[in-house]
Amino acid sequence: MTVKTILTEPNPLLRQISKPVESVGAEEKKLMDDMLDTMYSANGIGLAAIQIGIPKRIIVMDLSKNEKKEPRYFVNPIIKNRDIKKSTYEEGCLSVPNQFAEVARPKECEVEYLDYYGNKKILKAQGLLATCIQHEMDHLEGILFIDYLSKLKKSMIIKKLSKAKSTRIVV
Ligand code: GNR
Ligand code: NI
């Protein structure tokens, strides 16, 4: 298992639409292992493959708070049903470092996907699980949570991140 570099905004790769996986083979399992390692080492609760530069429709998540790990794997996830009721959560993103904002999303949703072994599963999600899976599925479409903010808030965040990036380059 390898910890990969997480891409940060602005990076055009984060805006790519990820491609469906044909089958969950050795390559995909290795990718999911690396993604999980990368997510744990960054203290995140979720990660989409595109965040490490791979445009595949694969997500890993772990919402457990204690020592016991509870990894979840989602390949080719599809939202089957979403709540008309919304719930608001203060979101952050490993690809938008140190920025947080409230985002309203459907409170509950039903997701169909393939698991680590390629078995078809259905999950009824609510609370943080529902928020997180929708945040991750947005990554598969090249969408970041800052896209839901006002133009002003979004541009301020992008400006900050660009500035932070430019100071890291030694000419
Ligand atoms: O670690 C993460 N925390 C988080 C908090 C609120 C809503 C969504 C998230 S996902 C984020 C990790 C990440 O960027 N996944 O794409
Ligand atoms: Ni994210």
**Residues written for the chain:** 171
The reported pLDDT for the residue numbered 102 is: 98
CA of 23 relative to ligand 1 center, distance in Å = 26
Q: Is residue 38 part of a domain?
A: yes
DSSP-based helix, strand, coil % in the chain, nearest 5: 35, 30, 35
Residues 12, 153, 59, 41, Cα dihedral to 10° = 90
Number of domains observed in the structure of the chain: 1
* Per-residue pLDDT tens digits for 85-134: 999 999 999 999 999 999 999 999 999 999 999 999 999 999 999 999 99
141: annotated active-site residue? no
Q: Is residue 6 part of a domain?
A: no
- Judge if the beta carbon of residue 103 lies within 6 A of ligand 1: no
Q: Is residue 2 part of a domain?
A: no
Q: Is residue 78 part of a domain?
A: yes
- Judge if the beta carbon of residue 47 lies within 6 A of ligand 1: yes
| Confidence band for 66, pLDDT divided at 50, 70 and 90 | confident
Q: Which domain holds residue 25?
A: 12-167
